[in-house]
C-alpha cells in the first residue's frame, strides 16, 4: 500500500512538473509573440516617420506665417523624438506627439486649396494614410498579444508559474490616438 501511495505521489509530482514546464514554455512563447508584434509596430512607425520629412518639405513652402513654421518645426521635432526613443513606452509617447503634430499640420493645410489639389500632396497623403493603416493593424495585434499574455499570467495555475519564473505583467499598451 505504501508503494502504491509513493508511486501515486511521484506520478502526481511528475504530472505537475510537466504541466509547469508546459505553462512556462507557453508563456515564453507569448512573450516572444509580444516582441514580434512590437517589431511590426516599430517597423510601421519607422515607415511613417520616413514619409513625414518629405510631407513637411512638400507643404512647408506653401504655408504662410508663424503658424506654418511652428507646425513644421513641431513635426520635425516629434519625428526626431520618435527616432531617438529607445524603449516601447518612449516610442509610444513620441508617436502620440508625432500624431498630434501631423494633425495640426493637416489642419493648416486645409486652408490652402491649391496645395490640397496638387498631385505630390495627394500622393504623400495617400502614403501617410497607408502608413497609418499599417500602424493601426500592428498596434491592434500588439495590444491583443499583450492583453492575452496579461490575462494568462493572472489565472491559476499560470500565475504561480509566471511568478516563479519572474514573468511580469506588460504595461506598455499602445493606445489609439484621440481625435
What confidence tens digit (pLDDT) does each residue in 12-55 have? Answer: 888 888 888 888 899 899 999 999 999 999 999 989 888 888 88
Please state, in angstroms and rounded to a whole number, the distance separating the CA atoms of residues 65 and 76.
Answer: 17
Q: What is the mean pLDDT of residues 174-178?
A: 60
| Number of independent structural domains in the chain | 1
- The verdict on residue 43 lying in a domain is yes
Please state, in angstroms and rounded to a whole number, the distance separating the CA atoms of residues 60 and 67.
Answer: 11
Please state, in angstroms and rounded to a whole number, the distance separating the CA atoms of residues 28 and 34.
Answer: 10
Please state, in angstroms and rounded to a whole number, the distance separating the CA atoms of residues 92 and 115.
Answer: 31
Q: What is the pLDDT of residue 31?
A: 92
What's the pTM?
0.79
The per-residue pLDDT for range 57-108, each reduced to its tens digit, is 888 777 777 677 788 888 888 888 888 888 888 888 888 898 888 888 888 8
- The verdict on residue 6 lying in a domain is no
Q: The CATH number of the domain where 123 resides is what?
A: 1.20.1440.20
- The verdict on residue 106 lying in a domain is yes
Which distant-in-sequence residues (6+ apart) come within 8 Å of 116 by Cβ?
A: 109, 110, 122
- The verdict on residue 8 lying in a domain is no
Q: Which residue has the higher pLDDT, 172 or 21?
A: 21
Q: What is the pLDDT of residue 177?
A: 54
- The verdict on residue 29 lying in a domain is yes
Find the domain containing 87 and state its range: 16-165
- The verdict on residue 10 lying in a domain is no
Q: What is the pLDDT of residue 145?
A: 93
Amino acid at each position: 500500500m505504501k508503494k502504491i501511495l509513493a508511486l501515486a505521489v511521484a506520478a502526481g509530482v511528475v504530472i505537475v512538473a510537466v504541466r509547469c514546464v508546459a505553462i512556462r514554455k507557453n508563456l515564453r512563447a507569448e512573450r516572444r509573440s509580444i516582441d514580434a508584434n512590437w517589431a511590426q509596430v516599430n517597423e510601421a512607425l519607422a515607415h511613417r516617420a520616413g514619409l513625414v520629412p518629405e510631407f513637411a518639405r512638400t507643404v512647408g513652402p506653401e504655408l504662410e506665417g508663424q503658424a506654418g513654421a511652428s507646425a513644421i518645426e513641431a513635426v520635425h521635432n516629434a519625428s526626431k523624438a520618435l527616432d531617438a526613443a529607445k524603449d516601447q513606452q518612449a516610442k509610444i509617447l513620441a508617436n502620440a506627439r508625432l500624431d498630434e503634430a501631423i494633425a495640426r499640420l493637416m489642419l493648416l493645410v486645409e486652408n490652402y486649396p491649391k496645395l490640397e489639389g496638387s498631385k505630390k500632396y495627394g500622393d504623400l497623403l495617400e502614403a501617410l494614410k497607408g502608413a497609418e493603416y499599417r500602424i493601426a493593424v500592428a498596434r491592434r495585434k500588439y495590444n491583443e498579444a499583450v492583453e492575452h499574455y496579461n490575462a494568462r499570467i493572472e489565472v491559476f495555475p499560470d500565475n504561480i508559474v509566471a511568478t516563479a519564473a519572474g514573468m511580469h505583467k506588460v504595461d506598455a499598451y499602445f493606445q489609439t490616438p484621440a481625435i
